[in-house]
Amino acid sequence: MSEVLDSQTIEEILRKWNENPMYKPRIVKVTVNIGVGTSGERLQKAYQVLEMLTGQKPVPRKAKRTIKEFGIRKGENIAVMVTLRRQKALEFLKKALEAVGWRIPAKSFDNYGNVSFGIKEHITIPGVKYDPEIGIFGMDISITIERPGYRIIRRRRCRKKHIPRRHRVSREEAMILLEKELGVRIVP
């Protein structure tokens, strides 16, 4: 099963999930980001790549501050990103995980159940061919995992300030969810 977690922890978490279906976490969204560092033609090509891979229209991201050494001005578009939810998110995630060999390092998980990993070349994703006109882009992929009922922090009416610690997704639960649902191997 898992090289990182012990079997007693895994059994305890799975028992809790089976007892209460509202306690079992789920993948809420997958965020894909391509950071180019400059605006212009290269950014437009990254936009095309992201639209081709996800089937959704990407959003440009602006620089938060000026960095003279890199020639970046505050407010300049330097990256594109797209947020995928539901079925589109799972379909893209399966392709992205195949590109990294269905393996994610344990250090990619944070303490709140989020996972981030990168792909060095977008042409490693199955079904994508190299186009010399566009070039090669790397990308960052972030997976957000939440339990049902987590929307109380974002809803409009009767919004809560924070979620209790017992209702947050732990690092171990995120690892077990990805192993069980998608067949991902967590490597130390």
Tens-digit pLDDT profile for residues 14-64: 898 889 888 899 999 999 999 887 778 888 888 888 888 888 999 998 888
pLDDT at 159 over 60: yes
Query: Domain boundaries in the chain?
Result: 7-187
The CB density around residue 146, as the number of other CB atoms within 10 Å, is 20
Residue labelled with tokens 């639209």: 51
> What is the Cα–Cα distance from 84 to 30, expressed in whole angstroms?
5
pTM, 2 dp: 0.85
Instruction: Tell which residue, 6, 74, 78, 12, has the closest CA to residue 42.
Output: 78
Instruction: Tell which residue, 9, 3, 5, 7, has the closest CA to residue 187.
Output: 3
* AA letter at 105: P
Domain range 7-187, its CATH number among 3.30.390.10, 3.30.1440.10, 3.40.50.720, 3.40.50.1820: 3.30.1440.10
Let me know if 126 is exposed, middle or buried by CB neighbors in 10 A (0-12, 13-18, 19+).
exposed
